[in-house]
């Protein structure tokens, strides 16, 4: 390349860099995508003068500094501007780079922030002038309370919580900065009390978790009135989507497919009339519902006679609203839900789907992402529909759009959830995003920095919900104290739980104990890891659903990905567990001994007691050390 040519190219490049920098530093800069194109294009066009360009950027920074002498620290200004525009930037590192004129890595930092390098985890949102909250109050307990605490710690957000007396010794209460006792367990639903505490605590926002008040429009409304940010959509949107008939109508209007169905059904007579027109089987659903409460599959007029009032009263006691509506019932469907994120400025993206087909009595037990049932083409179509659904209602925050998928790959909107869901973790594993952190940032006014095309699904993740229930006894809830606890570990294993040895499982709440999530490059690898993790996992003192999960993870049809809504029945999973339980009983003690760590600690605990009461504690500790070193003793 000739000298003049080189010079020309350099001038052109300089121009591009200056242009790019101006874009970034300009508060009204064009989209991040445009900036990224510039950087990428430039790296491709002029790889040889890459470093020189960096020095151009640096000198640009220096000249800025010269133009604005005095107290203004242009370096800091640039750092904070870049922080506002770019995701995935480490503020400390950026400051270092900008202040060190010898450092050659500014461009790399910028490229990295754009995802040009292959990072494992990503931020999808950036906070502009808006600051993340100083303090959040958690209105929840257990696993999700701990999950939110962890997100707050990473964000540098103060985190306090409310708790019922039964949860006084829980991990979440211990890990929070401060916890306020609200009385007995039903007080988790006491809207006024919780908002009063949020005010007293000077919390800027309330995180409702899942369940409890997470989709309660009255709670969101009282938060709004009290100028406390409810971490979720507005009360108005919660109401609109909480009314399943309204939600269906809204979706249909925006081109999202829904099943043939009705508005509110006034009485049994009207129900029979509508059902005969729709043709049986139909499904009765609660207008204020969601999940499975108040739901009945109806095959005939006689069944309608039997089930209508039953469904009404179930809906009434679950939601305080007995209204029902009718939908055509689809057999052998799959339950596919799309995770979405929406910022306050109207931008919406989806993070792919979760397959939640394995359910029992409308309780999800195993979820996986991505779904084996979707091709890339269908994912794009359904994802588009999910984004349309969310955009239609001016949604904000994290949310889920649920679809049924039939044998012929037709999909139908069934409902939208406005909370962070129990199963959000599998999406985190395949997208590398921390959904709870993003949810909090979005509530604080962060902007989505990515476009749909930039979001990639990598690998595979499965979640097993481990409940304190006995799968051999019709999933009867099991209570008691966990006296032995050893969670699994290894690559691709994630345990999300507030469980520990000594944890008391009380009957006041739902029976979720721990979420076991396994990821891998492929579904096969994730399944293999899950099998291993389930075998390692030791929870003693209460019955758990681990035997159920083991049975499913070893089932041929599950391994092939052949699941529908009737998977558990068709594969006789519960029958197999009962058989297994009978033959396995004698093995149990032998298995226990294999777990050396817990066995040893138990042994030491028992051995030590009489010694430590007589002896000085230091001598006892020394004795324990020497026992641990001297393996021969055992
Ligand atoms: C349906 C359905 C068939 N047809 N709606 C909705 C909430 C979820 N918990 C179950 N739901 C269903 N709604 C129509 N019109 C079948 C189910 C269903 C189901 C769906 C996916 C996976 C497992 C299921 C088990 C029972 C019922």
Q: What does the alpha-carbon distance between residue 454 and residue 119 come to, in Å, rounded to a whole number?
A: 13
Give CA–CA dist 295/242, Å, rounded. Answer: 15
pLDDT of residue 69: 46
Give the chain's mean pLDDT: 85
Closest residue to atom 5 of ligand 1, CA basis: 329
User: Mind listing the pLDDT tens digit for each residue in 90-117?
Assistant: 778 777 776 665 555 666 666 666 654 4
Choose among 445, 338, 440, 327: nearest CA to 391: 338
**Does 205 have pLDDT greater than 90?**
yes
Res. 590 pLDDT band, cuts 50 70 90:
very low
Give 618-627 pLDDT, tens digit per residue. Answer: 544 555 555 5
Q: Write out the H or E segment, with its range, that includes residue 70.
A: none
CA pair distance 246, 264, nearest whole angstrom: 10
Q: Single out the catalytic residue among 36, 419, 465, 494.
A: 419
- For residue 513, the model assigns a pLDDT of 98
Q: How confident is the model at residue 524 (pLDDT cuts 50, 70, 90)?
A: very high
Q: Are 244 and 233 in contact (CB under 8 A)?
A: no
Per-residue pLDDT for 519 more than 80?
yes
pLDDT at 567 exceeding the cut of 60: yes
Active site residue 248: no
By the 8 A CB rule, do 522 and 473 touch? no
| pLDDT for 587 beyond 70 | no
Report the residue among 359, 405, 569 best suited for mutation to probe ligand 1: largest number of ligand atoms under 8 A from its CB. 359
Q: What digits encode the pLDDT tens for the residues 123-162?
A: 888 887 788 999 999 999 999 999 999 999 999 999 999 9
- Look at residues 617, 585, 471, 591 and name the one whose alpha carbon lies nearest to residue 537: 591
| Substitution site in 363, 404, 416 for ligand 1 pocket (most atoms within 8 Å of beta carbon) | 404
- What percentage of the chain carries pLDDT values higher than 90? 66
Cβ neighbourhood burial of 71 (10 Å; 0-12, 13-18, 19+): exposed
Q: Which atom of ligand 1 is nearest to the CA of 359?
A: 23
- Model confidence at 27, in pLDDT bands (50, 70, 90)? very low
- The pLDDT score that the predictor gives to residue 83 is 74
- Report the C-alpha gap between 201 and 199 in whole angstroms: 5
Q: d(Cα 612, Cα 616) in Å, to the nearest integer?
A: 7
- Reported as a single tens digit per residue, the pLDDT across 476-503 is 999 999 999 999 999 999 999 999 999 9
Q: What is the Å distance from ligand 1's center to 542 Cα?
A: 30
Q: 587 by DSSP, 3-state: which?
A: helix
pLDDT digits (tens, 9 = 90+) for 415-432: 999 999 999 999 999 999
The pLDDT > 70 percentage for the chain reads 75
pLDDT digits (tens, 9 = 90+) for 42-100: 556 555 445 555 555 555 555 555 555 444 455 666 677 667 767 777 778 777 776 66
Q: What is the mean pLDDT of residues 230-241?
A: 97
- How many other C-beta atoms can be found within 10 angstroms of the C-beta atom of residue 270? 14
Q: What is the pLDDT of residue 609?
A: 53
Q: How many CB atoms lie within 10 A of CB 57?
A: 20
- Answer yes or no: is pLDDT of 365 > 80: yes
């Amino acid at each position: 390349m000739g000298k003049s040519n080189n010079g020309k190219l350099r001038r052109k490049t300089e121009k591009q860099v200056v242009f790019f920098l101006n874009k970034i530093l300009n508060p009204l800069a064009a989209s991040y995508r445009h900036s990224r194109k510039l950087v990428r294009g430039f790296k491709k066009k002029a790889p040889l003068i890459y470093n020189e360009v960096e020095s151009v950027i640096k000198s640009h920074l220096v000249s800025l500094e010269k133009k604005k002498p005095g107290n203004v620290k242009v370096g800091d200004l640039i750092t904070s501007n870049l922080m506002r525009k770019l995701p995935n930037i480490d503020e400390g590192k950026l400051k270092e780079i900008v202040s060190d004129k010898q450092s050659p890595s500014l461009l790399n930092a910028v490229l990295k922030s754009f995802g040009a390098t292959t990072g494992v985890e990503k931020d999808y949102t950036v906070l502009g002038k808006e600051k993340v909250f100083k303090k959040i109050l958690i209105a929840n307990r257990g696993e999700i309370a701990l999950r939110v605490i962890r997100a707050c710690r990473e964000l540098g957000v103060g985190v306090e919580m409310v708790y019922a007396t039964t949860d006084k010794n829980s991990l979440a209460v211990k890990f929070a900065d401060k916890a306020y006792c609200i009385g007995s367990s039903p007080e988790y639903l006491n809207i006024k009390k919780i908002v009063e505490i949020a005010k007293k605590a000077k919390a800027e926002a309330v995180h409702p978790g899942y369940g409890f008040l997470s989709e309660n429009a009255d709670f969101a409304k009282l938060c709004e009135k009290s100028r406390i940010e409810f971490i979720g959509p507005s009360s108005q949107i919660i109401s609109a989507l909480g009314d399943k008939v309204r939600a269906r109508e809204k979706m249909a209007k925006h081109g999202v497919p829904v099943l043939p169905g009705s508005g509110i059904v006034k009485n049994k007579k009207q129900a029979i009339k509508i059902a005969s027109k729709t043709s049986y089987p139909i499904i009765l659903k609660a207008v204020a519902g969601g999940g499975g409460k108040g739901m009945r599959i109806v095959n005939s007029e006689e069944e309608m006679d039997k089930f209508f009032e039953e469904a009404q009263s179930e809906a009434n006691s679950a939601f305080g609203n007995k209204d029902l509506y009718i939908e055509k019932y689809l057999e052998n469907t799959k339950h596919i839900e799309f995770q979405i994120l929406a910022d306050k400025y109207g931008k919406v993206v989806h993070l792919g789907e979760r397959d939640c087909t394995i359910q029992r009595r409308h309780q999800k037990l195993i979820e996986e992402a991505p779904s084996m049932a979707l091709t890339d083409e269908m994912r794009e179509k359904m994802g588009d529909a999910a984004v349309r659904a969310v955009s239609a209602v001016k949604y904000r925050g994290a949310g889920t759009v649920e679809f049924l998928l039939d044998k012929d790959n037709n999909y139908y909107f069934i409902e939208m959830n406005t909370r962070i869901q129990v199963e959000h973790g599998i999406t985190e594993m395949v997208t590398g995003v921390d959904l709870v952190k993003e949810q909090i940032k979005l509530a604080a006014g962060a902007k989505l920095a990515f476009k749909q095309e930039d979001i990639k699904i990598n690998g595979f993740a499965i979640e097993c919900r481990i409940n304190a229930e006995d799968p051999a006894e019709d999933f009867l809830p099991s209570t008691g104290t966990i006296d032995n606890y050893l969670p699994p570990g290894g690559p691709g294993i994630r345990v999300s739980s507030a469980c520990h040895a000594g944890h008391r499982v009380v009957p006041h709440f739902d029976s979720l104990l721990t979420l076991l999530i396994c990821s891998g490059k492929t579904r096969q690898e994730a399944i293999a890891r899950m099998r291993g993790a389930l075998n390692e996992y030791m929870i003693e003192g209460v019955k758990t659903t681990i035997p159920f999960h083991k049975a499913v993870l070893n089932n041929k049809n599950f391994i092939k990905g052949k699941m529908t809504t009737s998977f558990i029945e068709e594969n006789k999973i519960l029958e197999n567990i009962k058989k297994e339980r009978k033959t396995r009983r004698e093995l149990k003690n032998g298995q226990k001994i294999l777990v050396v760590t817990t066995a040893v600690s138990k042994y030491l605990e028992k051995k030590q007691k009489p010694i430590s009461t007589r002896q000085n504690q230091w001598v006892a500790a020394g004795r324990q050390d020497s026992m641990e070193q001297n393996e021969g003793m055992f």
